[in-house]
Chain A
Amino acid sequence: MKNLHFLTWVLLALALLPAALFAQQAPITGVVTDAASQEALIGVTVLVKGTSINAQTGVDGRYSIAAPADAVLSFNYVGYAQQEIPVAGKTAVNVALASTTKLNEVVVVGYGTQKRRDLTGAVARIEGDEIVNQPVQTPTQALQGKLAGVQIISDGTPNSQPTVRIRGTGTLLAGANPLYVVDGVQTTDIRNLSNADIASIDVLKDASAAAIYGVRGANGVIIVTTKKGAVGKPTLSYSGTYGFKEAAHLVEMANADQYKSYITDTSPTTTFPTYPGFSGTTNWYKEILKRGTFQNHNLAVSGATDNVRYYFSGNLLQDDGLLVDNRFSRLTVRSNTSFSLSDKVTISSQASYSHANTRDVNIGSAYLDAYRAAPIIPARQGDLFGNTAAYGNVGNPLVDIGKNYNQSSENRLQGNIGVDVRPVEWLTLRSAINVDLNANTRTIYNYQFNNDASTFIIAGGNQFNTTSNLSVMQSNSYRYLWENTATFHKVFGENHDLTVLAGTTTEEGQYTPLYGYRRSVSADPNQWYLNTGDPNTSVVNPYDPNNPDANMLPSKDRRFSVLGRINYSYAGRYLLTANLRYDASSKFASDRRKGVFPSLGLGWVVSDEEFLKDVRGLSFLKLRGSFGRLGNDQIPTNSFVTTADINIPYVINGQPVLGAVISQIKDGQVHWETTTEYDAALEFGFLDNHLTGEVTYYNKRTSSALIPINIPGILGDPDNQLITNAADITNRGVEAALNWRSTIVDNFTYNFGVNATFNQNRIANLNGGQALFAGGNLQTRSDNGQAAGSFYLLNAIGVYQTQDEINSGPKSTFAPKVGDLKYADTNGDGVIDLNDRSYYGSYQPPIYFGINGGINVHNFDLSFVFSGNLKNKVYNAKKQNRYAGTDNVEASFASSRWTAANPSTTNPSTLASSLPNSTYFLESGAYLRLTNVILGYTFPVSSLEKAHLATLRVFLSGQNLFTATKYTGFTPELPGGPLDSGIEAQTYPTSRTLTVGLTANFK
């Protein structure tokens, strides 16, 4: 370890080399950037026209060349239009080159950038302007349907982060989310970012690309780069959207007549309550849902001089969600600056502060209760509520929401400061500190209310709260990451282009939670602090197995890493990338904490070979292949250390005492999960790159995935299980993308693209680990040979039509009656019981895809994105989770259920409570969704002169306007963990959003 730190300060010592030694005399200097991305272009040849004097730009795009004051400089770069610029006495000449092909796109690969054509790994990229126009909070949401191999499962809850799965799910019990890197800050949560601040998002999909992130890279890496100022005078820009959102789809419940007829038939002894003055149907979803406002406003000032670049912005976002009382708002401010102290030293910083306020609603109760509550009871009359609890033991959803206050406030400071030193043209040294600070508070207040005439129209029932109570949860966390890197880049001879990166990183994170609880707190919101209320009911950080919020454990972790990369290309035709990362992590025992993660990628630009030069129509052809190893250490800190559970109660001298217990047996040898991935791809372009595409095959194997093994009870472990590294999981698949881009006539261009991912997820071997049941009602089981989270169910094969059919068939342990579901005797043992459960697919889609396109005609533009899944399954658990015979049913069930008059062969006569898990509740998860459509109009520049505007565009943007699905529930997008995704119990509805937007750049 000491040697590694030695390396750290050797790198820093290099930074101290006096740059003056290498200074040249009276040069013309400048920066060459990509006109679109404003990223520095590396290796641009700068030629003094008519001479052989030339120079090349370095990794930051800077060049320096000695030339007479009247010279003309020629900038030449493969794939970019050549530019010639007269020096005309200036000492600084900055140039933005325009790309002639997407292959010149510069992508961010972690601790550096690369041109797309030089990549040997799988990296996908989205530019910021593709994100900013969508009315969504998180940038990942805007990736949906756009990238092959990247599955986005959206969640309608305001301030939620969509689930991202890159090339399948490679874990069962560890974290499955990708690593996000925001300007160098490594995090798992990017909800603090304003989409308008994002310049680009790069997704590192394969092991060759992500290996530079070692033990954090196994789930893929998403690199977010925020905007920088462009050279020029300060410009002010505004972009904003305003609109509405509503539930994209609702399930129609039985109306009062249907409900009464259903209950009369199935529970004949039920007496219906009468509410004077109410005779209609209560649509409970209408009562608790609303049309919410969505708005997002950004203001930014940016610009750059030779020495200073700056980008300052402010963002306000409001998302009201769909449930009454739900609200979310966020303020983000950002400052991105860089200062060139000389042409050798640059100091840069990116920093953002965000403040978010969320008023959450009790979705778990309210949305479930709205599904169950009888439609024959009024929601409210005046100030009084209909008493659904007295009638059917279902909480009134409006009371669920109104008597519970749940507010969280999140503050986050995220950023970095770094210094880049370029002592010589071919060497860049960088040292940066990245920090991420969080300070969050959640306040939950439960009002006191009685089940009497002060709350309800009719008294009774068990919806009441005898004493008010207040919980306050606070957490603070910080993480710093200190990175030191040296990048060497040189072209030897004509064709040998070599880049070498070496560096060290040091990281520490700490999380400090605090929880407090008191009862009998006044209903006045100004009193909702822990100094009020009954001190005898005060609880601070209790041990309570039933309240996960109260069991927040503090944690602290550290990492030390050494990283290295070699990029070599011969004539831009033969490409090699090799990564090596060494990681040491405090999360594991000292003899298990060190690991090495290598990768190797090779590429061959076949179209540059002589034998393909003259093939008509072929513009580009590249073969690439890679191998790499990655780790996943998203497991709790100290998983290997034996610790005592604390605050274990006993009573001594009549007074409570708090003991401690060492009970959990831990595997001291626990370590990260390791993923090994092979990847082979063909990239091509035809017809002058009008048609481009890519086909990739990948094969990922996660070995030593965490899994519990059963251990004998004599060891005294409470769950008789030991979590250890045993299971193997594979994800194999093919990704394909095809894009067409063309101009028909001037002012009429269009593009069209499709992408699809075929992924097969399997648990290859549990190696003695236990198959895992999961889901609210244990609907899934993850076992050998199955996909993670496979539905494990009885096969519902129909409805018993006659008593003879029951008597003559295999004996059922479920005591069936005529009109009940009939299950298959899958194992053929003559008895229908839970042993007949089998596997019926999983939520993980074997195929997911996106379709996108756009047309520009004169000043109008139209673009759209479709996304979808095929062949996956979802489980309609809310339909199964019936608690009482008086619970409402769906209208479609009320009309199509089995009755003697309507002998249905698919729907039973009643949905009894505690029906076993069966395929009756399993439905296709396939869907096709118009994820986003935008229609825009850009005002002609000539019309803007008087308004002091440089550009002005107005647009309409719609999110999720249309969905085609056979699923009968609210939404087939059902995020969850690796083991329990795809189960709809009380999922927040997916929203449909329509906004108008405006972007303007002021002169």
Chain B
Amino acid sequence: MKPTHFTIVRRAGTAALALSLAVASGCKTFLDVAPQGQLSEEAIKADPAAAQKLVDGVYDALYLSGGFGADVNGFQLVVLSDIASDDADKGSTPSDYNDAANIDNFTATPTNSNVNNVWNGHFQAIARANQALDKIPLSPADASIKNRQLAEVRFLRGYFYFNLVRLFGGVPLLDRVPSVGDVNNPALQTRASAADIYAFIISDLQFAVDNLPAKAGTDVGRANKTAAQAMLAKVYLYQKNYQKAYDLTSAVITSGAYSLYGNYADIWRTVGNNNSESIFEVQTGVNAACNNSALQLYVVAQGPRSGGKYGWSDLGFGFNTPSASLANAYEAGDVRRAGTIIFINPTAPAGQRSTGTVLWDGFRIPSQDSVEGSRFSYKAYHSRTKEPNCGNTDFLPKNIRIMRYAEVLLINAEAAVQLGNTAAATTDLTLVRARAGLAAAAPTLANIWRERRVELAMEHDRFFDLVRQESVQAGRIVPAYAAHGKTFVKGKNEIFPIPQSQIDLSGGVLTQNPGY
């Protein structure tokens, strides 16, 4: 045996031994491999920017659904707020989208897909919010930044629950991230009372009011103090706490940060994005991949649809068509009528040339014989030629106005009337009517409610408002729907059915709403 070999082996062995010891000493952590290229809890603890990403991810929930899936502020909510109301009909061809027709006609059953989509979408959004609230405290950022982030998320969570309680009544209250072992815990599935949900919404929104900066200190698009005040005022209006509603809206008005935007028809156009009266709106845009910075199909689902003789490249599926009841609700001279509804002109008699309908951007829709439906939402129209468009019409960037100053004025007016302060109510109402080209009107509840209808038409509020008004002054909702050709059953149709699939998954712990 030649000694050199041993030397080599011994050296190699010593090196291996050393390497082995090195591995052994790091052994405790050797098998703890963090996820690569993915944001995990460790990354949130280390990077102050990570918590902000989670906040922005909650805003992204406002883009849900992709049209026909889990939904927060997209087309599914349109079905349950506009189509369900007397402002609009389902639209499209009669046989298209039976589930929405059932919502329109109050014949929906617990297996209806719209209610399941909105249920899932809102709880997805709430889960995102809870996850963000769970992780923001881990961030190494300053406490003040973290407080603002928490407040933004709680604003959004409050809004999500506000939609849910108006759609379904009491729902399961998830205020934190449940552990995986709890997924089938009955306590989690049990419905809280509507009152408990409202109390929870108020605590979220009050936290937002207390911790969000004013408009001047906020990026455009983020929730600010005013947004929280206005949303909280609206919640108090639903709670009939008129003093709080009045105080909060008065604070918004006296802040002077917002004012009515001059041209009503432009409010929902790109030129009116984040205009002087916009308090909170869903922000959209175009990104390089052209595939996601907007509400998918929101515009196309409500776009004018060809029919009859066809023969033109139409703009969408033709859902959510403004009703005759709405068209008739406008007073003469109200500029809002033409700013809200696209009217399809009748076909000219034989031998004469039909003019069609020319939209603000010059697009010409042919007349009635080539169109399915006679009215369409102008607020949901997005110009393919004069407004941003990256080439994918499924993602036309339409900002959704969730809260604007006009509504703050109307909340203030309604609360003032209820508190006996007609002077304030007159001021508010006159401002709103003047912008619409109308003279002042008496500050009565009926006038303020009619004003709410035409001011906020096709903005996804009418169904909830009708139900709320009925609780303030009974006897109006059934005739309103009768005028619209629908039968509203009191004690049932104020809220929608709890999705049957969710009741099944809860093992029957979730209870169904009355009448379904």
Contact = CB atoms under 8 A, between A and B. Distances in A.
A15 to B, nearest CB: 5
A270 interface: no
Contact of A650 (B2, B17, B59): B59
A539 B289 contact: yes
A711 B38 contact: no
Could you say which of A4, A546, A714 has the most chain B C-beta atoms within 10 Å of its C-beta?
Answer: A714
B288 A660 contact: no
A523 interface: no
B54 A560 contact: no
A805 interface: no
Given A644-B40, A649-B60, A667-B180, A662 B128 contact: yes
Given A8-B20, A12-B20, A660 B5 contact: no
A668 B180 CA distance: 8
Where chain A touches its partner, the secondary structure class is mixed
A23 interface: yes
A716 to B, nearest CB: 2
A714 B220 contact: no
Given A20-B1, A641-B40, A665 B183 contact: yes
Interface string B269-311: 0000110000000011101110111000000000000000000
Interface stretch (A200-208, A549-557, A871-879, A964-972): A549-557
Contact of B180 (A555, A665, A713, A716): A665
A344 B127 contact: no
Interface stretch (B23-31, B76-84, B90-98, B421-429): B23-31
B31 A715 contact: no
Interface stretch (B251-259, B412-420, B462-470, B499-507): B499-507
A648 B56 contact: yes
B54 to A, nearest CB: 5
Given A650-B56, A660-B50, A712 B30 contact: no
A652 B220 contact: yes
Nearest to A343: B1
B55 interface: yes
Nearest to B21: A9
Contact of A419 (B12, B130, B219): B12
A720 B219 CA distance: 34
Contacts of A544: 289, 291
A551 to B, nearest CB: 11
Interface stretch (B117-125, B208-216, B440-448): B117-125
Given A431-B16, A657-B56, A720-B505, A510 B125 contact: no
B120 A661 contact: no
A744 interface: no
A652 B219 contact: yes
Interface in B6-64: 6, 8-10, 12-14, 16-17, 20-21, 23-24, 27-28, 30-41, 50, 53-61, 63
A585 interface: yes
Contacts of A947: none
Could you say which of B27, B171, B219 has the most chain A C-beta atoms within 10 Å of its C-beta?
Answer: B27
B494 to A, nearest CB: 22
A659 B180 contact: no
A538 interface: yes
Contact of A9 (B20, B33, B189): B20
Interface string A538-567: 110010101000000111111110000000
A431 B13 CA distance: 9
Contact of A586 (B16, B31, B56, B59): B31
B326 interface: no
Interface in A614-669: 637-638, 641-646, 648-663, 665-669
Contact of B221 (A653, A666, A669): A653
A650 B127 contact: no
B347 to A, nearest CB: 25
Contacts of B127: 663, 715-717
Given A661-B60, A713-B499, A717-B127, A5 B23 contact: yes
B1 A656 contact: no
Nearest to B56: A659
B222 interface: yes
A537 B290 CA distance: 9
A20 B9 CA distance: 12
A708 to B, nearest CB: 12
A506 interface: yes
A745 interface: no
A815 interface: no
A666 B179 CA distance: 10
Given A643-B40, A654-B285, A659-B56, A1 B28 contact: yes
Nearest to A643: B38
A18 interface: yes
Interface in A771-802: none
B431 interface: no
A660 B128 CA distance: 9
A290 interface: no
Given A345-B9, A714-B172, A662 B135 contact: yes
Interface string B213-231: 0000001111000000000
Contact of A655 (B37, B184, B285, B510): B285
B215 to A, nearest CB: 13
B402 interface: no
A584 interface: yes
A444 interface: no
A293 to B, nearest CB: 40
Contact of A585 (B24, B31, B41, B59): B31
Contacts of A586: 30-33
Interface string A384-423: 0000000000000000000000000000000000010100
Contacts of B38: 553, 638, 643-644, 646
Nearest to A536: B288
B397 to A, nearest CB: 8
Contacts of B8: 341, 345
Contacts of A656: 285, 287, 293
Nearest to B507: A712
A554 B33 CA distance: 12
Could you say which of A13, A644, A655, A659 has the most chain B C-beta atoms within 10 Å of its C-beta?
Answer: A644
Contact of B33 (A421, A637, A642): A637
B293 A649 contact: yes
B288 A538 contact: yes
B128 A557 contact: no
Interface in A493-525: 506, 510, 517
Given A23-B1, A638-B38, A665-B180, A713 B53 contact: no
B174 interface: yes
Contacts of B335: none
B1 A718 contact: no
B119 A539 contact: no
A28 to B, nearest CB: 16
B505 A660 contact: no
Contacts of B54: 644, 659-662
A560 B505 CA distance: 40
A554 B502 CA distance: 35
A188 B288 CA distance: 37
Contacts of A546: 291
Interface of A: 1-2, 4-6, 8-9, 12-13, 15-16, 18-20, 23, 341-342, 344-345, 419, 421, 431, 484, 506, 510, 517, 536-539, 542, 544, 546, 553-560, 584-586, 590, 593, 637-638, 641-646, 648-663, 665-669, 710-718, 720, 722
Give the 4 A-B CB pairs with smallest separation, nearest first. A716-B127, A659-B56, A5-B24, A659-B57
16 contacts: A6-B24, A20-B6, A345-B8, A419-B9, A536-B288, A544-B289, A558-B33, A641-B35, A641-B40, A649-B63, A651-B221, A653-B220, A659-B56, A659-B57, A712-B189, A716-B124
Given A1-B27, A661-B58, A665-B180, 13 more contacts: A5-B20, A9-B20, A12-B16, A506-B23, A544-B289, A637-B35, A650-B221, A650-B283, A660-B54, A712-B510, A713-B116, A716-B125, A716-B130
